[in-house]
């Protein structure tokens, strides 16, 4: 089943005298449950594409369908409702609330939906049960990012959008964070679209989409997708 249908997407930012063409005629279909990686140099349009898919930004022209809902024609309130219900975001910086524990940071968003995952299950899925009553300052960077992932999945979103989730982490820590995202993709069938430069991602993705200068330069299918690593915390 298709979850996103993206057709002829263009995004132009008007800044002063110059127009920046962040996306130029991008078309892509995403199947439900797929794990997609977006690669490309800085400025190639990766974040712009992810933000439009996640309803944080709107295209200048072209279409994005979520199932049969046309996000590109949605009202602001419909877009907000879509984002709150269906999208889990993970960014490079964790944006945790320092005065709340791991469980409390995750619990904070459970009111958004009518059928959240139990908080302890979300915490367990990212391997933080032993740390669940700790505060963010007591956690490593990788652990903090795993809290952010728990917070993103506790809503049971259809899609998990990750913009450089390993950008502030060393390679090995970043790989563990990607392993967690991969497990969630496989075990919960959550569609995942991930921007990362961590080479460990290569074996995890179903497809790698390469962007350059606002265009899709190529899409590689991963014929030898690896099963998730055994994680021992």
Q: With binding defined as CB under 5 A, does residue 166 bind Mg ion?
A: no
Candidates 15, 75, 77, 221: give the one binding ligand ADP (CB under 6 A): 15
- Contact set for ligand ADP, span 38-57 (CB under 6 A): 40, 42-48
Q: With binding defined as CB under 5 A, does residue 44 bind Mg ion?
A: no
The whole-angstrom separation of Cα 75 and Cα 64 is 14
Residue 43 binds what, of Mg ion, ligand ADP, none (CB under 5 to 8 Å, by partner type)?
A: ligand ADP
- Considering only the stretches 39-47, 70-78, 86-94, 96-104, report the one whose residues sit in contact with Mg ion under the rule CB under 5 A: 39-47
Question: What is the helix (H) or strand (E) element at residue 92, kind and residue range?
Answer: none
Selection from 15, 4, 10 nearest residue 216 by Cα: 10
What is the residue-wise DSSP string for 11-69? Answer: EEEEETTEEEEEEEEEEEEEETT-EEEEE--TTSSHHHHHHHHTTSS--SEEEEEETTE
192, 228 Cβ separation under 8 angstroms: no
Q: With binding defined as CB under 6 A, does residue 232 bind ligand ADP?
A: no
Q: With binding defined as CB under 6 A, does residue 196 bind ligand ADP?
A: no
User: Which of residues 192 and 209 has its CB atom nearest to ligand ADP in the complex?
Assistant: 209
Task: Give me the residues that bind ligand ADP (CB under 6 A), please.
Answer: 13, 15, 20, 22, 40, 42-48
Task: Give me the residues that bind Mg ion (CB under 5 A), please.
Answer: 47
């Amino acid at each position: 089943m298709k979850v996103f249908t993206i057709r002829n997407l263009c995004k132009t930012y008007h800044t002063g005298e110059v127009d920046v063409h962040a996306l130029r005629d991008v078309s892509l279909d995403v199947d439900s449950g797929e794990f997609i990686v977006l690669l490309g140099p800085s400025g190639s349009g990766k974040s712009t594409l992810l933000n439009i898919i996640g309803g944080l930004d709107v295209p200048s022209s072209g279409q994005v369908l979520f199932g049969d809902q046309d996000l590109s024609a949605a009202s602001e309130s419909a877009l907000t409702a879509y984002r709150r219900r269906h999208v889990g975001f993970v960014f490079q910086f964790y944006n945790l609330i320092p005065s709340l524990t791991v469980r409390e940071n995750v619990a904070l968003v459970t009111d958004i939906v009518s059928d959240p995952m139990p908080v302890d299950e979300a915490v367990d899925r990212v391997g933080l049960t032993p740390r669940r009553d700790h505060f963010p300052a007591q956690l490593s960077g990788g652990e903090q990012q795993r809290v952010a992932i728990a917070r993103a999945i506790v809503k049971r979103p259809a899609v998990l959008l990750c913009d450089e989730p390993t950008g502030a982490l060393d390679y090995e820590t970043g790989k563990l964070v990607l392993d967690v995202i991969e497990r969630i993709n496989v075990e919960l069938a959550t569609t995942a679209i991930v921007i990362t430069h961590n080479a460990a991602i290569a074996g995890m993705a179903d497809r790698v989409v390469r962007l350059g200068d606002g265009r899709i330069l190529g899409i590689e299918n991963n014929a030898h997708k690896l099963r998730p690593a055994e994680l021992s915390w």
